[in-house]
Amino acid sequence: MHERRPRNCLCALALLATHCRGEPAPSVAPATSLSAHEPSAGAMIPTPTPTPTVPLTASAVAAPAPAPAPAAASAAATATPPRATEAEEPSLFAADGTALPQTDARPSATDERFKRRMKRLADAIRLGDAESAHASFFPLVAYAQVKDVVKPERDYRYRLLSNFERDVREYRKALGRDAGHAELLAVDVPEARVEWMKPGKEGNRLGYFRVLRSRLRFRLPDGKERSFELTSLISWRGEWYVVHLHGFE
């Protein structure tokens, strides 16, 4: 009993000495370091509201898509002058799809459709674009009925139409470097030489009107005039079409 008292006294004295020096009592909890902006111990610390996490997709991080540009291509396509349309040319087929037959109607060189064909031909020559004048050329469906030849489609494509395209390009060269600025003045059709070609006269099964040596006249920017031969125009259903542009071949 007497041995325990000194130990208790020594412990009490040690605690009293510590309190006198101002040292904090030891704590079993780990110390937390506070920054200058953190509240002191004992202050009420609000529990932060958690920020919702939004999952990112590829579209979310991509740059905003630019506003769609105006449809310039479609506008340009609309502005491009169209080639010959069905409304500009007479129908060559019946409602059931069969080819319409030849007639004995004499063509007119003052008809508006003929003028448009000649204008297309003149533009094709100025630009060297023979394909754009195909509607001015004698139609294949007519040639297949008129000419008494084996495989008329082949003869048409590889002889007649090929020569026509070649002659368009040659006339373009003959107009010179200012061909694109040439102006169509007139188409001279010698009406007095128009002739009805009976079947059998030119290897044909059907009759047609024909006129030789018409002329296509241009004026160049320097004022000079040039004219080119339309060797042969022949008729189909009362309309003039080019069949030989420069010579017979």
Please, which residues have CB within 8 angstroms of residue 40's CB and are 6 or more apart in sequence? Answer: 34
Helices and strands in the chain: count of H runs, count of E runs = 7, 5
Q: Which helix (H) or strand (E) holds 171?
A: helix 162-175
Give Dmax (Cα) for the chain: 162
Which pair of tokens denotes residue 186? 């007139």
What global pTM score does this model have? Answer: 0.65
Domain ranges of the chain: 100-244
SS3 241: strand
Per-residue pLDDT tens digits of the chain, which is 249 residues long: 444 455 554 444 444 444 444 444 444 444 433 344 444 444 444 444 443 333 333 333 333 344 444 443 333 333 334 455 555 789 999 999 999 999 999 999 999 999 999 999 999 999 999 999 999 999 999 999 998 888 999 999 999 999 999 999 999 999 999 999 999 999 999 999 999 999 988 889 999 999 999 999 999 999 999 999 999 999 999 999 999 999 886
